[in-house]
Amino acid sequence: MPSRHNATLHALVDLVNADIGLHALWRCANVNAVDRLGMSDHGPVHVRIVANIALRLFRMLTGAQYEAGVVRNHGLSAADGEVVVVLASLLHDVGMAVHRDDHERFSLILAEPKARHLLAGLYAEPDLTVLVSEVLHAIIAHRSDGHPLTLEAGVVRVADALDMAKGRSRIPFEAGQVNIHSVSAAAIDRVAIERGDRKPVRISIEMSNSAGIFQLDELLKEKLRGSGIEEAIEVTAQLSGESERSLVQVFRI
């Protein structure tokens, strides 16, 4: 993960990499998600991808004069906002270790002591409690009916939906769960995040099959709407080849 001259973020990443308990929570989250429910990955690979996407979005938007919540409301720096974005991304799904249902609220229970522990050596009070609170806000705001109030929470919400590239959202499909959700997820080949022409950020999505439109319309659009950053992002989608790849040979009811 690129810390890019952010010494505090670099130190946080080192602490996360050494936290055996956090890694165990990620494994438990995946046991519930993948092994027991046949869902897509919600463990260490997913949260690291989300953290990298969220950090990239955050840097692009702050570079375009969007203001972080910790800057506007608490007088902290954009570098502190990066810490919030990364830690919230890494902890947003730990509640899956308890149960899929209402996992965002379970994430709050597990994330508060973990975030405080990880940040305790990096921040003194009252900034420590400020950052923990902002992390928790970003976590709860990623739920489907969430309402982000900060730039940090908005980018985490959108980044969570952008972990959809080939090989990421395919687990239910490959496990034999053939429906519009699994087929559309398997149709996404590539997601690119670039500087836009009309807006600060352009998200370009390549699909092997037009069924992938469902993934954008049902998942990404929902996460963008109300994120607080929807006006800063343009989304384009196109087929990656001259012809569509066949995903389903026979469908039976």
pLDDT in tens, 200-236: 999 999 988 888 888 788 788 889 998 999 999 999 9
pTM equals: 0.90
Please determine, for residue 183, whether its predicted confidence score (pLDDT) is greater than 90. Answer: no
CA 149/CA 143 separation, integer angstroms = 13
- Strands across the sheet containing 201-207: 188-195, 201-207, 233-239
List all residues 6 or more positions away from 113 whose beta carbon is below 8 Å from its beta carbon. Answer: none
pLDDT given at position 124:
99
pLDDT more than 90, % of the chain: 67
Beta 233-239 vs 201-207: how paired, if at all? parallel
Which amino acid belongs to residue 222? E
List all residues 6 or more positions away from 232 whose beta carbon is below 8 Å from its beta carbon. Answer: 61, 64, 66, 199, 200, 201
pLDDT category at 250 given cuts 50, 70, 90 is very low
pLDDT in tens, 67-96: 999 999 999 999 999 999 999 999 999 999
Please determine, for residue 148, whether its predicted confidence score (pLDDT) is greater than 80. Answer: yes
Least reliable range by pLDDT among 80-84, 138-142, 162-166, 181-185: 181-185
In degrees and rounded to multiples of 5, residue 137 shows phi and psi of -60, -45
Kindly list the structural domains of the chain, giving each domain's residue range(s) and its CATH number in brackets, ordered by start: 7-161 (1.10.3210), 171-239 (3.30.70)
Category of 75 on φ-ψ map: left (φ > 0), alpha (ψ -120 to 50) or beta:
left
